[in-house]
Chains A and B, each alone.
Chain A
Amino acid sequence: MKLYCLSGHPTLPCNVLKFKSTTIMLDCGLDTTSVLNFLPLPLVHSPRLSKLPSWVSKDGTINLEKELKECAGRVFVDSQPEFCLPEKELLDLSTIDVILISNYHCMMALPYITEHTGFTGTVYATEPTLTIGRLFMEELVNFMERVPKAQSATCWKNKEIQRMLPGPLKDAVDVYTWKRSYSMQEVNSALSKVQLVGYSQKVELFGAVQVSPLSSGYSLGSSNWIIQSHHEKVSYVSGSSLLTTHPQPMDQSSLKNSDVLILTGLTQMPTANPDGMLGEFCSNLAMTIRAGGNVLVPCYSSGVIYDLLECLYQFIDSANLGTTPFYFISPVANSSLEFSQIFAEWLCHNKQSKVYLPEPPFPHAELIQTNKLKHYPSIHGDFSSEFRQPCVVFTGHPSLRFGDVVHFMELWGKSSLNTIIFTEPDFSYLDALAPYQPLAMKCVYCPIDTRLNFHQVSKLLKEVQPLHVVCPEQYTQPPLTQSHRSDLMLELQPPPMPYRRCSVLNLPFRRSYERVYIMPELANSLVPSEIKPGVSLATVSAVLHSKDNKHTLQSVPKPPPAPPSKKRKRVLDEPPLVLAPKPLLSGAVPLEAFLATLQKQGITEVKVEETADGHILHLQAEDTLIQLEEDGTHIVCDNNEPLRTTLRDLVLRFLQKL
Chain B
Amino acid sequence: MDRECVSLLPGVCEVLADPGTSLPDDTSLEKLLDWFTGLIEAGGSLLEACPCLLEFISTVVHNTASDPGVLSFTLRLTGLVSATEDGFKMLQERSVLNEVFNLKHWQEAGLWEDPCLRIGWIQGLRSMLQHPEALSFFVQSAFLDPLLQLQTDTSLFVASAANQMLAHVLLFFQPVSSPGCNGVDKKAEDDGRTHTSAEYTAVVTSISQYLKESLVPKENTKHHQSLQILKLLALLLAKAGPPLRDKLLQTVGDSLEELVTAGGSELTLPLMDVVLAAYSSSGTDERVTRLLASMLNINKPADLIHAAAAFLRRGRCDAVHTARAVRVLLLPLDVITGQSLLGTNTTADAHQVSVVEQLKSKTPCISMICVCLTNTPQIALTPSGVLPCPPVLIITAVLSLLSICSGVSSSSSTGSSEVYRNVIGNGKVQKCALEALTALSSSPGAMEKISEVFTVLIQYLDNPDSDPTVLHKSYQALLKWTSVCTDFSLVTDHLRHDLIEVVKKRVCDMRWEVRDSTVEFLGHLTGVRVSLKSVEVCDSSDVLLGVCSTTPLLKEALQDSESYVRASAIAALAKTLTHSWQQGAALTQEETEIVSRLLEILSQDTEGFPRRAVVQYFISWYSSNSSHLPLSSSGSSASLLMQCVRSVLSQGSADLDWEVKVHTLELAELLLDETFSAHQGYRKGSDAHRAPSHPYGVVSEQAHTLHTHAGTHTEGTESDLATVVEQGVMSALLSGLVDCDRPVALKACRLLITLRETVCTLSLGTLDATASMATVSCKLPGLGWGKEIIKILRLKRSDRAREADIAAQRNLSDADEGGESVSVCEALRLLGLDERLDVLTQSSDHIHNSPLSLLQDILTASAAHTQPGEEVIVDCY
Which residues of A are interface residues toward B (Cβ below 8 A)?
A: 271-273, 276-280, 282-287, 290, 311, 315, 317-320, 446, 482-487
In the bound complex, what is the Cα–Cα distance between A94 and B842 (angstroms)?
96
| Interface assignment of B107: CB less than 8 Å from any CB of chain A | no
Known: A276-B465, A485-B407. A283 touches B505 (CB 8 A): yes
Contacts of B413 in A (CB 8 A): 484
**Inter-chain contact A278/B505, CB cutoff 8 Å:** no
Known: A319-B508, A320-B559, A484-B411. A279 touches B464 (CB 8 A): yes
In the bound complex, what is the Cα–Cα distance between A486 and B413 (angstroms)?
14
| Shortest Cβ gap from B513 to chain A (Å) | 12
**Inter-chain contact A279/B411, CB cutoff 8 Å:** no
Contact of A483 among B407, B411, B424, B511 (CB under 8 A): B411
**Inter-chain contact A273/B424, CB cutoff 8 Å:** no
In the bound complex, what is the Cα–Cα distance between A317 and B556 (angstroms)?
14
| Shortest Cβ gap from B859 to chain A (Å) | 58
**Inter-chain contact B508/A487, CB cutoff 8 Å:** no
The segment from B75-83, B414-422, B439-447 found at the interface with A is B414-422
Contacts of A283 in B (CB 8 A): 505-506, 508-510
In the bound complex, what is the Cα–Cα distance between A282 and B464 (angstroms)?
11
**Inter-chain contact A276/B508, CB cutoff 8 Å:** no
Contact of A485 among B424, B463, B507, B510 (CB under 8 A): B424
Those 3 A-B pairs whose CB atoms lie nearest each other, nearest first? A276-B464, A286-B508, A318-B561
| Shortest Cβ gap from A479 to chain B (Å) | 11
Residue of B nearest to A279 (CB): B510
**Inter-chain contact A317/B561, CB cutoff 8 Å:** yes
25 A-B contact pairs sorted by A residue (CB < 8 Å): A273-B464, A273-B465, A276-B464, A276-B466, A279-B464, A279-B509, A279-B511, A280-B464, A282-B509, A282-B510, A283-B509, A284-B505, A287-B507, A290-B508, A290-B556, A318-B512, A318-B562, A320-B559, A446-B464, A482-B407, A484-B411, A486-B420, A486-B421, A487-B420, A487-B421
**Inter-chain contact A282/B508, CB cutoff 8 Å:** yes
Contacts of A315 in B (CB 8 A): 510
**Inter-chain contact B509/A484, CB cutoff 8 Å:** no
Consensus secondary structure, chain B interface: loop
In the bound complex, what is the Cα–Cα distance between A198 and B352 (angstroms)?
58
- Assign chain B's interface to a size class: 20 to 34
Find residues 399-421 in chain B having any chain A CB closer than 8 Å to their own CB. Answer: 407, 409, 411, 413, 417-418, 420-421
In the bound complex, what is the Cα–Cα distance between A514 and B413 (angstroms)?
56
In the bound complex, what is the Cα–Cα distance between A301 and B252 (angstroms)?
79
**Inter-chain contact A486/B505, CB cutoff 8 Å:** no
**Inter-chain contact B504/A287, CB cutoff 8 Å:** yes
In the bound complex, what is the Cα–Cα distance between A279 and B420 (angstroms)?
26
| Shortest Cβ gap from B764 to chain A (Å) | 58
| Shortest Cβ gap from B422 to chain A (Å) | 9
Find residues 562-605 in chain B having any chain A CB closer than 8 Å to their own CB. Answer: 562
Residue of B nearest to A442 (CB): B501
| Interface assignment of B257: CB less than 8 Å from any CB of chain A | no
Find residues 460-519 in chain B having any chain A CB closer than 8 Å to their own CB. Answer: 463-466, 504-512
| Interface-centre pick from B407, B413, B464 (highest chain A CB count, 10 A) | B464
Contacts of B512 in A (CB 8 A): 318
Contacts of A487 in B (CB 8 A): 420-421, 424
Contacts of B509 in A (CB 8 A): 279, 282-283
Contact of A277 among B417, B420, B464, B508 (CB under 8 A): B464
Contact code string B528-560 (vs A, CB < 8 Å = 1, else 0):
000000000000000000000000000010011
In the bound complex, what is the Cα–Cα distance between A273 and B411 (angstroms)?
22
**Inter-chain contact A484/B420, CB cutoff 8 Å:** yes
In the bound complex, what is the Cα–Cα distance between A271 and B405 (angstroms)?
12
Contacts of B561 in A (CB 8 A): 317-320
Contacts of B421 in A (CB 8 A): 486-487
Residue of B nearest to A311 (CB): B510
Known: A282-B510, A287-B508, A320-B559. A272 touches B464 (CB 8 A): yes
Contacts of A278 in B (CB 8 A): 510
Contacts of B504 in A (CB 8 A): 287
| Interface-centre pick from B505, B507, B508, B512 (highest chain A CB count, 10 A) | B508
Contacts of B559 in A (CB 8 A): 320
Find residues 727-741 in chain B having any chain A CB closer than 8 Å to their own CB. Answer: none
Contacts of A282 in B (CB 8 A): 508-510
| Shortest Cβ gap from B342 to chain A (Å) | 22
| Shortest Cβ gap from B371 to chain A (Å) | 24
**Inter-chain contact A486/B510, CB cutoff 8 Å:** no
- Further 8 A-B residue pairs, CB within 8 A, beyond A311-B510, A318-B512: A276-B466, A279-B510, A283-B505, A283-B509, A287-B507, A319-B561, A484-B420, A486-B421
| Shortest Cβ gap from A417 to chain B (Å) | 13
Residue of B nearest to A285 (CB): B508
In the bound complex, what is the Cα–Cα distance between A320 and B566 (angstroms)?
13
Contacts of A287 in B (CB 8 A): 504-505, 507-508
**Inter-chain contact B418/A486, CB cutoff 8 Å:** yes
| Shortest Cβ gap from B336 to chain A (Å) | 12
Contacts of B424 in A (CB 8 A): 485, 487
Residue of A nearest to B511 (CB): A279
Residue of A nearest to B465 (CB): A276
In the bound complex, what is the Cα–Cα distance between A278 and B421 (angstroms)?
24
In the bound complex, what is the Cα–Cα distance between A159 and B405 (angstroms)?
47
Contacts of A280 in B (CB 8 A): 464, 505
In the bound complex, what is the Cα–Cα distance between A160 and B504 (angstroms)?
52
| Shortest Cβ gap from A108 to chain B (Å) | 29
In the bound complex, what is the Cα–Cα distance between A484 and B464 (angstroms)?
21
Residue of B nearest to A485 (CB): B407
| Interface-centre pick from A277, A315, A487 (highest chain B CB count, 10 A) | A487
Contact of B407 among A271, A277, A286, A317 (CB under 8 A): A271
Residue of B nearest to A483 (CB): B411
In the bound complex, what is the Cα–Cα distance between A280 and B509 (angstroms)?
7
| Shortest Cβ gap from B321 to chain A (Å) | 36
| Shortest Cβ gap from A421 to chain B (Å) | 12
| Shortest Cβ gap from B153 to chain A (Å) | 45
| Shortest Cβ gap from B139 to chain A (Å) | 65
**Inter-chain contact B560/A318, CB cutoff 8 Å:** yes
In the bound complex, what is the Cα–Cα distance between A319 and B413 (angstroms)?
41
Contacts of B556 in A (CB 8 A): 290, 320
Residue of A nearest to B556 (CB): A290
In the bound complex, what is the Cα–Cα distance between A315 and B511 (angstroms)?
10
**Inter-chain contact A484/B417, CB cutoff 8 Å:** yes
Contacts of A317 in B (CB 8 A): 561
Contacts of B411 in A (CB 8 A): 483-484
Contacts of A279 in B (CB 8 A): 464, 509-511
In the bound complex, what is the Cα–Cα distance between A336 and B409 (angstroms)?
42
Contacts of A273 in B (CB 8 A): 464-465
Residue of A nearest to B464 (CB): A276
| Interface-centre pick from A278, A279, A280, A486 (highest chain B CB count, 10 A) | A279
Residue of B nearest to A273 (CB): B465
Residue of B nearest to A288 (CB): B508
In the bound complex, what is the Cα–Cα distance between A147 and B409 (angstroms)?
46
Residue of A nearest to B406 (CB): A271
Residue of B nearest to A271 (CB): B407
Contacts of A482 in B (CB 8 A): 407
| Shortest Cβ gap from A131 to chain B (Å) | 32
In the bound complex, what is the Cα–Cα distance between A487 and B418 (angstroms)?
9
Contacts of A277 in B (CB 8 A): 464
In the bound complex, what is the Cα–Cα distance between A483 and B561 (angstroms)?
43
| Interface-centre pick from A284, A318, A320 (highest chain B CB count, 10 A) | A318
In the bound complex, what is the Cα–Cα distance between A282 and B463 (angstroms)?
14
Residue of B nearest to A478 (CB): B417
Contacts of A486 in B (CB 8 A): 417-418, 420-421
Contacts of B506 in A (CB 8 A): 283
In the bound complex, what is the Cα–Cα distance between A460 and B806 (angstroms)?
93
In the bound complex, what is the Cα–Cα distance between A485 and B512 (angstroms)?
32
Contacts of A484 in B (CB 8 A): 409, 411, 413, 417, 420
In the bound complex, what is the Cα–Cα distance between A526 and B802 (angstroms)?
130
| Shortest Cβ gap from B415 to chain A (Å) | 9
Residue of A nearest to B463 (CB): A276
In the bound complex, what is the Cα–Cα distance between A277 and B424 (angstroms)?
18
